[in-house]
Amino acid sequence: MKSFDTYLFDFDGTLVDSYESLVKVFSGAYSKVGVKVPEGYTLRLMRCPLYVGYQELNGPVDEESKKIFGDEIVRLLDDPDVLKATKTYEEVKEVLETLRKNGKTLGIVTSNSKKHVLEVLNFIGLDSSLFSVVIGNEATKRHKPYPDPILKGLELLGKNIEGCCYVGDAPDDMKSAVNAEVTPVLIDRNHEHGNLCEITIYSLDELIR
Protein backbone atom coordinates (compact mmCIF):
# COMPACT_ATOMS: atom_id res chain seq x y z
CA MET A 1 0.00 0.00 0.00
CA LYS A 2 0.98 3.68 -0.18
CA SER A 3 3.81 4.76 2.10
CA PHE A 4 3.56 7.76 4.43
CA ASP A 5 6.12 9.85 6.27
CA THR A 6 4.18 9.93 9.55
CA TYR A 7 2.04 7.15 11.01
CA LEU A 8 -0.26 8.04 13.89
CA PHE A 9 -2.03 5.12 15.56
CA ASP A 10 -5.09 4.66 17.70
CA PHE A 11 -4.27 2.42 20.67
CA ASP A 12 -7.06 0.13 21.90
CA GLY A 13 -8.16 -2.26 19.17
CA THR A 14 -5.40 -1.05 16.85
CA LEU A 15 -2.07 -1.70 18.57
CA VAL A 16 -3.35 -3.67 21.55
CA ASP A 17 -6.19 -6.13 22.08
CA SER A 18 -7.69 -4.57 25.19
CA TYR A 19 -11.22 -5.90 24.88
CA GLU A 20 -11.11 -8.30 27.84
CA SER A 21 -9.36 -5.75 30.04
CA LEU A 22 -11.92 -3.06 29.24
CA VAL A 23 -14.81 -5.42 29.97
CA LYS A 24 -13.45 -5.43 33.53
CA VAL A 25 -12.97 -1.64 33.58
CA PHE A 26 -16.36 -0.65 32.20
CA SER A 27 -18.40 -3.23 34.10
CA GLY A 28 -16.71 -2.21 37.35
CA ALA A 29 -17.00 1.55 36.84
CA TYR A 30 -20.61 1.47 35.66
CA SER A 31 -21.64 -0.78 38.54
CA LYS A 32 -20.41 1.94 40.92
CA VAL A 33 -23.16 4.25 39.62
CA GLY A 34 -25.84 1.57 39.38
CA VAL A 35 -25.64 0.92 35.63
CA LYS A 36 -25.29 -2.52 34.05
CA VAL A 37 -23.34 -2.71 30.81
CA PRO A 38 -25.31 -4.79 28.27
CA GLU A 39 -23.59 -7.91 27.02
CA GLY A 40 -21.48 -7.12 23.96
CA TYR A 41 -21.66 -3.34 24.51
CA THR A 42 -18.03 -2.97 25.59
CA LEU A 43 -16.89 -2.67 21.98
CA ARG A 44 -19.11 0.37 21.52
CA LEU A 45 -17.77 1.89 24.75
CA MET A 46 -14.20 1.34 23.52
CA ARG A 47 -14.93 3.24 20.33
CA CYS A 48 -16.63 6.38 21.59
CA PRO A 49 -15.68 9.16 24.02
CA LEU A 50 -16.11 8.09 27.64
CA TYR A 51 -19.06 10.33 28.49
CA VAL A 52 -20.81 9.69 25.18
CA GLY A 53 -21.09 6.05 26.23
CA TYR A 54 -22.09 7.15 29.72
CA GLN A 55 -24.93 9.22 28.29
CA GLU A 56 -26.06 6.40 25.99
CA LEU A 57 -26.32 4.05 28.98
CA ASN A 58 -28.25 6.67 30.95
CA GLY A 59 -25.60 7.15 33.60
CA PRO A 60 -26.68 9.41 36.49
CA VAL A 61 -26.29 13.05 35.49
CA ASP A 62 -25.38 14.51 38.88
CA GLU A 63 -21.78 15.65 39.22
CA GLU A 64 -21.04 13.40 42.20
CA SER A 65 -21.99 10.27 40.25
CA LYS A 66 -19.95 11.39 37.25
CA LYS A 67 -16.94 11.91 39.52
CA ILE A 68 -17.37 8.49 41.13
CA PHE A 69 -17.58 6.93 37.67
CA GLY A 70 -14.54 8.79 36.32
CA ASP A 71 -12.43 8.03 39.39
CA GLU A 72 -13.31 4.35 39.19
CA ILE A 73 -12.33 4.24 35.50
CA VAL A 74 -8.91 5.64 36.40
CA ARG A 75 -8.49 3.27 39.35
CA LEU A 76 -9.44 0.17 37.38
CA LEU A 77 -7.20 1.04 34.44
CA ASP A 78 -4.26 0.81 36.85
CA ASP A 79 -5.42 -2.48 38.35
CA PRO A 80 -2.85 -5.29 37.82
CA ASP A 81 -5.57 -7.71 36.71
CA VAL A 82 -6.64 -5.27 34.00
CA LEU A 83 -3.08 -4.99 32.70
CA LYS A 84 -2.75 -8.78 32.69
CA ALA A 85 -5.84 -9.04 30.46
CA THR A 86 -4.28 -6.75 27.80
CA LYS A 87 -2.53 -8.36 24.83
CA THR A 88 -0.72 -7.12 21.78
CA TYR A 89 -1.52 -8.22 18.25
CA GLU A 90 1.05 -10.63 16.85
CA GLU A 91 2.34 -8.43 14.03
CA VAL A 92 2.55 -5.11 15.87
CA LYS A 93 6.17 -5.18 17.12
CA GLU A 94 7.63 -6.12 13.74
CA VAL A 95 5.53 -3.54 11.88
CA LEU A 96 6.49 -0.69 14.19
CA GLU A 97 10.17 -1.59 14.22
CA THR A 98 10.22 -1.89 10.42
CA LEU A 99 8.54 1.47 9.95
CA ARG A 100 11.06 3.12 12.27
CA LYS A 101 13.99 1.45 10.47
CA ASN A 102 12.59 2.89 7.26
CA GLY A 103 12.77 6.38 8.72
CA LYS A 104 9.08 6.84 9.47
CA THR A 105 7.80 8.96 12.36
CA LEU A 106 5.37 7.12 14.65
CA GLY A 107 2.89 8.38 17.22
CA ILE A 108 -0.10 7.29 19.27
CA VAL A 109 -3.32 9.33 19.41
CA THR A 110 -5.85 7.77 21.75
CA SER A 111 -8.93 8.46 23.86
CA ASN A 112 -7.22 6.57 26.67
CA SER A 113 -4.89 8.31 29.12
CA LYS A 114 -1.21 8.72 28.27
CA LYS A 115 -0.26 7.29 31.66
CA HIS A 116 -2.20 4.09 31.03
CA VAL A 117 -0.84 3.75 27.49
CA LEU A 118 2.75 3.92 28.76
CA GLU A 119 1.96 1.38 31.49
CA VAL A 120 0.48 -1.03 28.94
CA LEU A 121 3.43 -0.61 26.56
CA ASN A 122 5.80 -1.43 29.39
CA PHE A 123 3.70 -4.42 30.49
CA ILE A 124 3.51 -5.99 27.02
CA GLY A 125 7.19 -5.29 26.30
CA LEU A 126 6.69 -2.78 23.49
CA ASP A 127 9.36 -0.06 23.53
CA SER A 128 7.69 3.32 24.05
CA SER A 129 10.67 5.02 22.36
CA LEU A 130 9.32 3.75 19.04
CA PHE A 131 6.78 6.58 19.34
CA SER A 132 7.85 10.19 19.00
CA VAL A 133 4.60 11.40 20.57
CA VAL A 134 1.76 9.95 22.66
CA ILE A 135 -1.45 12.00 22.76
CA GLY A 136 -3.88 10.91 25.48
CA ASN A 137 -7.31 12.15 26.44
CA GLU A 138 -5.84 14.82 28.71
CA ALA A 139 -4.04 16.57 25.85
CA THR A 140 -7.10 18.26 24.27
CA LYS A 141 -10.51 19.46 25.43
CA ARG A 142 -12.25 17.93 22.44
CA HIS A 143 -11.73 14.29 21.52
CA LYS A 144 -12.36 12.09 18.49
CA PRO A 145 -14.23 12.49 16.14
CA TYR A 146 -12.97 16.07 16.38
CA PRO A 147 -9.59 16.65 14.69
CA ASP A 148 -7.98 18.18 17.80
CA PRO A 149 -6.05 15.12 19.11
CA ILE A 150 -4.49 14.35 15.72
CA LEU A 151 -3.65 18.00 15.10
CA LYS A 152 -2.08 18.21 18.57
CA GLY A 153 0.11 15.25 17.74
CA LEU A 154 1.24 16.82 14.49
CA GLU A 155 1.89 20.11 16.26
CA LEU A 156 4.17 18.44 18.82
CA LEU A 157 5.94 16.52 16.09
CA GLY A 158 6.41 19.64 13.98
CA LYS A 159 4.78 17.82 11.07
CA ASN A 160 2.27 18.92 8.42
CA ILE A 161 -0.88 17.05 7.49
CA GLU A 162 0.67 16.12 4.13
CA GLY A 163 2.35 12.73 4.28
CA CYS A 164 0.51 11.71 7.46
CA CYS A 165 -1.99 8.91 8.01
CA TYR A 166 -4.04 7.94 11.04
CA VAL A 167 -4.61 4.21 11.59
CA GLY A 168 -7.60 3.18 13.69
CA ASP A 169 -10.27 0.53 14.08
CA ALA A 170 -13.42 2.59 14.60
CA PRO A 171 -15.66 5.00 12.65
CA ASP A 172 -14.77 7.88 15.00
CA ASP A 173 -11.08 7.30 14.20
CA MET A 174 -11.80 7.72 10.52
CA LYS A 175 -13.95 10.81 11.10
CA SER A 176 -11.20 12.36 13.21
CA ALA A 177 -8.66 11.73 10.46
CA VAL A 178 -10.92 13.23 7.80
CA ASN A 179 -11.63 16.25 9.99
CA ALA A 180 -7.88 16.72 10.53
CA GLU A 181 -7.30 16.36 6.76
CA VAL A 182 -4.89 13.45 7.14
CA THR A 183 -5.30 10.14 5.35
CA PRO A 184 -7.56 7.70 7.22
CA VAL A 185 -6.51 4.05 7.30
CA LEU A 186 -9.02 1.59 8.75
CA ILE A 187 -7.75 -1.60 10.41
CA ASP A 188 -10.73 -3.95 10.14
CA ARG A 189 -9.49 -7.24 11.58
CA ASN A 190 -12.95 -8.76 11.91
CA HIS A 191 -14.38 -7.47 8.62
CA GLU A 192 -17.00 -5.40 10.47
CA HIS A 193 -17.09 -2.14 8.56
CA GLY A 194 -17.60 -2.93 4.87
CA ASN A 195 -16.72 0.03 2.64
CA LEU A 196 -16.38 2.55 5.46
CA CYS A 197 -12.93 3.71 4.37
CA GLU A 198 -11.16 3.87 1.01
CA ILE A 199 -7.95 2.49 2.54
CA THR A 200 -8.87 -0.58 4.58
CA ILE A 201 -6.40 -3.15 5.87
CA TYR A 202 -7.02 -6.36 7.76
CA SER A 203 -3.67 -6.70 9.50
CA LEU A 204 -1.12 -4.02 10.35
CA ASP A 205 1.57 -5.85 8.43
CA GLU A 206 -0.10 -4.57 5.26
CA LEU A 207 1.49 -1.21 6.18
CA ILE A 208 4.94 -2.58 5.34
CA ARG A 209 4.12 -4.71 2.31
**Could you tell me if 154 and 170 are in contact, meaning their C-beta atoms sit under 8 angstroms apart?**
no
Percentage of the chain surpassing pLDDT 70? 100
pLDDT at 154: 97
Residues 6+ apart with CB under 8 A from 52: none
- In this structure, the answer to whether residues 100 and 71 fall within a common structural domain is no
Task: Report the distance separating Cα 98 and Cα 95, nearest Å.
Answer: 5
58 plus 90 within the same structural domain = no
Residues 91 and 33 in one domain: no
* Interval 16-38 mean pLDDT: 95
Tell me, yes or no, whether 61 and 94 share the same domain. no
Alpha helical stretches, state H, the chain: 19-32, 42-46, 50-56, 63-77, 80-84, 92-101, 114-124, 148-157, 171-180
User: Could you tell me the residue range of the domain that residue 50 belongs to?
Assistant: 19-84
Q: Which range has highest mean pLDDT (34-38, 48-52, 191-195)?
A: 34-38
pLDDT at 165 over 90: yes
**Residue 6: which pLDDT band, with cuts at 50, 70 and 90?**
very high
Q: Quick: pLDDT tens for 170-180.
A: 999 999 999 99
Q: Is residue 134 assigned to a domain?
A: yes
pLDDT at 11: 96
| Residues 142, 129: Cα–Cα separation, whole Å | 26
Q: How confident is the model at residue 47 (pLDDT cuts 50, 70, 90)?
A: confident
pLDDT bucket at 78, cuts 50 / 70 / 90: confident
DSSP of 7-55, one letter per residue?
A: EEE--BTTTEE-HHHHHHHHHHHHHHTT-PPPTT-HHHHHTS-HHHHHH
In a domain, 28, yes or no: yes
- Number of domains observed in the structure of the chain: 2
